[in-house]
Amino acid sequence: MNDNANMLAEKMMEELVAQLQSSHPSLREIPTFSSLPLISETMNHRNVGNAAIANGDYQKAYHEYSKGLIVNPNDPILWCNRAYALLKLGHPELAIVDAGRAINTIDQLHVDERNKFGLIMPTFGKERKDDLGYEERLIQLKLKAKLRECQAYEKLNLLLHTQKSCVELLKWKEEYAEDNIPFQWWPEVTRLQIDSKKKYEEEYAKFGDEYKERIEKHGEWVFRGSYPWDRRQIHRVDDEIFQKLQKKIEDISSSQVNLVKDTFEELGNEPHYGLRAASDISANTVIFEETPFLCVNSKAKTRCDYCNKELKTFKYPCPRSDCTEFFCDNKCYKQAYDLYHRLICGKDFTDITEVVKDEETTSSLYHLFIIKLFAIGVLRNICPLDIEEIQHLRRWEHENSSFTAISIEIYQKIMQILGIPQSDFNFDFWVYISCLSAIKSNVRTGTILTDSVSLYPLTSLVNHNCNPNAKLYIESDGSDASSFTKIERNPQNYELFINPSAFLDRNAMPKAEFNTAELKTKEEIKKGNMITINYVNFPELDDEERCRMLRNMCGIKCKCSKCSVQVGNV
């Protein structure tokens, strides 16, 4: 719509609102027209999106619906249609979230007085031939949104979730039976329910409890490192980002190493970052030390929530009595406050910790990490993926992706607790998933017991080699490693692959006073040679086990000379 038409629409709307307000006292709290959505604009995006769907251009449809939702997040048709576009685009995990938003929005519309006058969402399209009233159509839409959720769960092969959603949908059928709402997809709901049950039983008979555990939590889902509309993974090596990083690397390493971006034969065809010796560096030289940018603790130990140092004697609790974060001292508190703390201070995350408590320790911590990243995004008013300190990080891209069904629940809770509206697409669910995958490739544990994870953005630029020329040291607190050893002895065990403690060089960990990551040469490194560390430094693993672990734990198919003989086997 052009400006004049918009102004006219606004004026008409203002007059309408004034009239309605005078005759309906319940509408008096509507403050001004500007607080109401531009209904015609929303309608326009909806129509263009629908036309794109009809043409099979689902990406365009997705964008149109998104634009409409920015104007009017209270239009459930847009959420429901966006869920459909996402399903068609092959992103069922995102479709589930949008379907849920459609349902929530409908539930709110039912109780919102203003909507009776069409002031919140545009009415349904005129093309419909049935004679359903507005309320009935809303219910019909709600059923359809739930159907999208069932279909999305099926696509993810989350069979128990599919069944659960189908049961809920069928319950609604009974609830709304009196309304006699036509819904042509009931046979599809029955099919979804029968198929998912049958498949589950078949697979369970074949694989037993292990299958049950995996399918219940993870389903089948492959993340390719980025969503098609997100170009950040390609641009992460752009000159501007590269130059800033190069300067930081030079500063931190006293110009001993250079940052390079190249296509390294051993890392595949896409451009990668790596570090090279700027001059000959002798053995046992500290290349650099880095303090963590961000960390989270499981609270199994008393650690500073800012710098991650273990606090043995003194701790500095956040001055707010209902806040659970504590720090080394006022300095750490202040830095945390500026970075993320002021947004999460005093907020109750029990709900989230409750949800993740059955998860393996490390993945629970990943989720808690996102809370802090999202908080930084809110405070800097940017998408968390654009946070300068993390925008260069390479993301996890592997069939063992970090998505689990509970991610949706955790994401929704994070949004709620941080007070981020669901239509703030800087924080959409795909951003959450992309953040998780950036973290998964790059965080390190602060101790051999996985009680905390920290992110060292510059250390994250060091590549892996099974014959490394450098070592990475992170604080060792001398904890008993027996619990870890138990997992380590059984490389077939799924658990083996979820613990990134192996990023540490556990053979020779010096006692560091602060929780810095220290990169040190193992041997003399000649000028121009790549600096590498061993990401899975367990001497007791044979080559095949190491390759498997690299693949499953780090998403890496290593092609170094030691691995190349094994690559075909894993």
Ligand X SMILES: C[S@@+](CC[C@H](N)C(=O)[O-])C[C@H]1O[C@@H](n2cnc3c(N)ncnc32)[C@H](O)[C@@H]1O
Site for ligand X, rule CB under 6 A: 266-267, 272-274, 394, 441-442, 460-461, 463-465, 554-556, 558-560
Residue 427 gets the label, from left (phi > 0), alpha (psi -120 to 50) or beta, of alpha
* Cβ 284 to ligand X shortest distance, Å: 23
* Cβ 474 to ligand X shortest distance, Å: 14
* N- to C-terminal Cα separation, the chain: 57
* Cβ 519 to ligand X shortest distance, Å: 12
Q: Which amino acid is at 464?
A: H
How many Cβ atoms are within 10 Å of 485's Cβ, its own excluded? 11
Alpha-carbon distance values, 51 to 44, 56, 95 (Å) = 11, 9, 19
Q: Is-contact 459 472, C-beta < 8 A?
A: yes
Q: Which amino acid is at 279?
A: S
* Cβ 161 to ligand X shortest distance, Å: 29
Q: Is the dihedral of CA 464, 467, 473, 474 positive or negative?
A: positive
Task: Classify burial at 211, counting beta carbons within 10 Å of its beta carbon; exposed 0-12, middle 13-18, buried 19 or more.
Answer: middle
Q: Is the dihedral of CA 444, 435, 388, 421 positive or negative?
A: negative
* Cβ 554 to ligand X shortest distance, Å: 6
Q: Nearer Cβ to ligand X, position 21 or 529?
A: 529
Q: Which residue has the tokens 């003989």?
A: 565
Alpha-carbon distance values, 67 to 43, 44, 209, 231 (Å) = 11, 10, 44, 18
* Cβ 440 to ligand X shortest distance, Å: 9
Q: Nearer Cβ to ligand X, position 258 or 412?
A: 258
Q: Nearer Cβ to ligand X, position 254 or 263?
A: 263
* Cβ 396 to ligand X shortest distance, Å: 7
CA distance 128 to 145: 18
Q: Nearer Cβ to ligand X, position 266 or 545?
A: 266
DSSP state string for 489-532? T-TTSGGGGG-GGGGS--SS----SS--EEEEESS-B-TTPBPE
Q: Which residues contact 344 (CB under 8 A, 6 or more apart)?
A: 325, 371, 372, 375, 418
CA distance 206 to 216: 15
* Cβ 115 to ligand X shortest distance, Å: 48
* Cβ 268 to ligand X shortest distance, Å: 7
Q: Nearer Cβ to ligand X, position 387 or 556?
A: 556
CA distance 358 to 286: 40
Q: Of how many residues is the chain composed?
A: 570
DSSP state string for 2-30? -HHHHHHHHHHHHHHHHHHHHH-GGGTT-
* Cβ 103 to ligand X shortest distance, Å: 37
